[in-house]
Amino acid sequence: MRIKKIDKKIKYLFAFLQLILLLIYTSVSIGDETKWIAIGSLHNWYSSAGCEIEVGRRHLIPDQQDGLRWPAQFKYQDSQAAKALWIGARNYYDPIKDQTFNYKVVHVGPRHFDEDNEFMPVEFKLIGRFDSPNVYVDGLPACNTDFMDIVDEVDPTLKADRMLYNVVNTSIGITITRKIYAFSQQHHDNYFVYEYVFKNTGIFNKDGNKKEQTLEDVVFFFQYRYAPSREGGPYGYYFCPQNTSWGRNTMNDVIGEDPAAGDPFRAMFSWHGKHSGWQGPGDAIGAPDFTTDGRITAQQFVGMVTIHADKAANDKNDDVYQPSTTYYYDSDGPTSSGNDQFNEAKMAAEYEIMTRGHAELSHAEAVGDGNANEFGDTPGGYSQAQGFGPYTLAPGDSIHIVVAEAVAGINRSLCYSIGDKWLNGSSPFELPDGSTTSNANEYKNAWVFTGKDSILQTFQRAVDNYHSDFNIPQAPPPPDQFDVISGGDRIILSWSKTAESWPGFAGYRLFRAIHTPDTTFNEIFACGLGTSHPNIVNSFDDTSAVRGFDYYYYVVTFDDGSNNNSPVNPTGSLQSNLFLTRTNEPAYLKRQPGERLADIRVVPNPFNINARDLQYGVSAPDRIMFLEIPPQCHIKIFTERGDLIYEIEHNDGSGDEAWNSITTSRQVVVSGVYIAYFEVTEDYHDPATGRLIYRKGDNTFRKFAIVR
């Protein structure tokens, strides 16, 4: 028994080292382009290669859980580990090798990608129904859309809010056209619709050379390695067992394999299962943070629904028996890396997986109530897979496949309240159906598993949306400009009027968060229909802000509900999405300049690390403020023995300046007594009277203490 355990550890270590070597290789050899779709509550990055491989965005190991971020408003909500798209055929004449292969398979993912010889990107662009708004804080660009929503073309007639258009040639002679549709409307912003056209163009290399031939028994095979979610793993806050980060305990389920079974659609979905290494009370379902507040950190249910698959190249009706393969497979198995489009034995093994059919039991059914990480002899857990085909494609023939990918689950507020009750509460615990239990773990799990209903509902909305030709009602567009200006006694917010001509436009709502932008925002102002300020305005002064704290904002438009009469959509008012205007740079109160050097203060003094929550909070835990200072001055900070450790050029005309307790070498200072020296750099006259208040060269100093 002891020898077997050692052998398994060696096997796991070897697999890990193999992954490290592979990632080192790919980090220098892969140069595909990536783009984000990030206008709704679900954010994901995409590759010009036609599929998103493991650690494929930046080719860094900490990105192993990277993408499918939901709810994207908060940190570490990633559920994507790896994907793959393989295309296989039988009896294929390969013009590159001048050889006929019994089985030919070309690959992108889960770890393999060759953009020069196998999956060769041709076109990759993001088209928007509208462009991202211009968002500024104190005159500087300050929105995630600046780097996560880079629109290449604006098309006002586009029915989706965003469409990513991607064309890829492959060495098997099939050209892929991939269109990914995204929506910002609040009832449709947590899924993407993928529309694929696989056409036999005969193009087999980067130079565009063609070989016309009929392709036999073609299979399109998609793999999904999900890992909900990053928040509790080693790349987030790390209180779950480390190997949850790559999906070791992911549970995978499938519905709709048999059209006669009565399932609402053909779909597969995954969630965070039980783990034998769980150290907290109860079990790992939902990955509650038992180390602090109990919050649920893996509430996500993530998966794919098939919307359409052609019966044949000459029959464009939906084939209810597709996908023909829905299986789970070892994420670290021999076919997950080292893929080679000329290795006959390996391609034969891959094609067998691609055409395996349906498992008698899904992965989730096979694991049952056990620990997912103990199922199977693998360190990597199991991935979902679905294969479409086999098809025969003559030159010029094509196959059309449409799927939607979604993430859903209980909302963030419930993650906190359910988790807190699970960790700290006492029975009775109220279950989702209104009954009660005395078992805290049963209570937690029942609420987490309502996420299954949520993702099925999301699948239905995606299916209905596609079949309606994307004719869902649209929310008013956001203002095309949003400005936030830090003032001396208020923070001034203003926005453009561009959305006010939208049919049914009814008003604006303004939201604010303190300390950080990836947290819950609270409404601080609304104007228009049904609000306490019925007159439409385009500015607001936030006079409730407190000095020394960082503030983040977003503004949304909303309608009167008259546009929302579609069966595809719940009733009620629609509003623009928060991610289109949410600021990612802080605004904060600034003082008017001080009137004399004697009034300069250092706050807090002393600075005590143990009282940081009573000082400037989590947004600036090491902040020290210099108050009532001249509008233009040079600040030098010395140790008590006279060593200069930091300098600040204060020239914004205010009476405030912040220092985050660091030296010029970016080191946090130690406990001790420090001296701040202030020297006026420009003459300053009272704006009202013209009286000279500060003369260039005037100076003073202040002592202050830091306790760490």
Q: Provide the pLDDT for residue 565.
A: 63
With a pLDDT cut of 90, the percent of the chain lying above it is: 83
Mean pLDDT (the chain) is 92
**In the CATH scheme, what is the code of domain 481-580?**
2.60.40.10
CATH assignment of 597-707, among 2.60.40.4070, 1.50.40.10, 3.30.360.30, 1.10.357.10: 2.60.40.4070
pLDDT digits (tens, 9 = 90+) for 63-88: 999 999 999 999 999 999 999 999 99
Three-state SS at 339: coil
Residues contacting 687, CB < 8 A, separation 6+ = none
DSSP 389-458: EEEEE-TT-EEEEEEEEEEE-S-HHHHHHHHHHHHH--S-EE-TTS-EES-HHHHHHHHHTHHHHHHHHH
Mean pLDDT score, 258-262: 90
Q: Provide the pLDDT for residue 571.
A: 62
Q: Provide the pLDDT for residue 619.
A: 63
Mean pLDDT score, 384-399: 98
DSSP 478-530: PPSEEEEEE-SS-EEEEE-SGGGGSTTEEEEEEEEEES-SSS--EEEEEEETT
- The answer on pLDDT for 654 being more than 80 is yes
Mean pLDDT score, 523-534: 97
- The answer on pLDDT for 528 being more than 50 is yes
Output the six-digit token pair for 402.
Answer: 């449409």
Mean pLDDT score, 594-609: 93
- Asked if the domains 481-580 and 597-707 are classified in one and the same CATH topology, the answer is yes
Question: Based on the number of CB atoms within 10 Å of its own CB, is 497 exposed (0-12), middle (13-18) or buried (19 or more)?
Answer: exposed
pLDDT digits (tens, 9 = 90+) for 358-390: 999 999 999 999 999 999 989 899 999 999 999
Mean pLDDT score, 325-333: 96
Rounded to a whole number, what is the distance in angstroms from the first to the last CA of the chain? 51
Going from N- to C-terminal start, the domains of the chain cover 2-408, 481-580, 597-707
Q: Provide the pLDDT for residue 610.
A: 82
pLDDT digits (tens, 9 = 90+) for 542-578: 999 998 899 999 999 999 988 776 555 566 899 999 9
Three-state SS at 598: helix
Single pTM value for the model = 0.86
- The answer on pLDDT for 315 being more than 50 is yes
Output the six-digit token pair for 380.
Answer: 């990597």
234-238, 460-464, 697-701: lowest mean pLDDT where?
234-238
Q: Provide the pLDDT for residue 149.
A: 97
- The answer on pLDDT for 612 being more than 80 is no
Distance separating alpha carbons of residues 320 and 324, to the nearest angstrom: 9
Distance separating alpha carbons of residues 510 and 507, to the nearest angstrom: 10
The class of domain 2-408 in CATH terms is mainly beta
Distance separating alpha carbons of residues 665 and 110, to the nearest angstrom: 41
Band of pLDDT at residue 445, cut at 50, 70 and 90: very high
Band of pLDDT at residue 641, cut at 50, 70 and 90: very high
Q: Provide the pLDDT for residue 27.
A: 40
Provide the 8-state DSSP code for 669: P
User: Helix 440-448 crosses helix 450-467 at what angle (to 10 degrees)?
Assistant: 10
Maximum distance among all Cα pairs of the chain, rounded to whole angstroms: 92
Mean pLDDT score, 650-654: 84
Mean pLDDT score, 577-588: 96
Closest-CA residue to 492 (of 538, 548, 531): 538
Question: Can you tell me which residue has the tokens 């001296």?
Answer: 675
- The answer on pLDDT for 5 being more than 70 is no
pLDDT digits (tens, 9 = 90+) for 6-61: 343 443 444 444 444 444 444 444 467 999 999 999 999 999 999 999 999 998 88
Distance separating alpha carbons of residues 93 and 212, to the nearest angstrom: 10
Distance separating alpha carbons of residues 552 and 570, to the nearest angstrom: 30
The residue that leads in pLDDT, 534 or 687, is: 534
Mean pLDDT score, 455-461: 98
CB atoms within 10 A of CB 434: 6
Q: Which residues pair with 595 in a beta bridge?
A: none
Residues contacting 360, CB < 8 A, separation 6+ = none
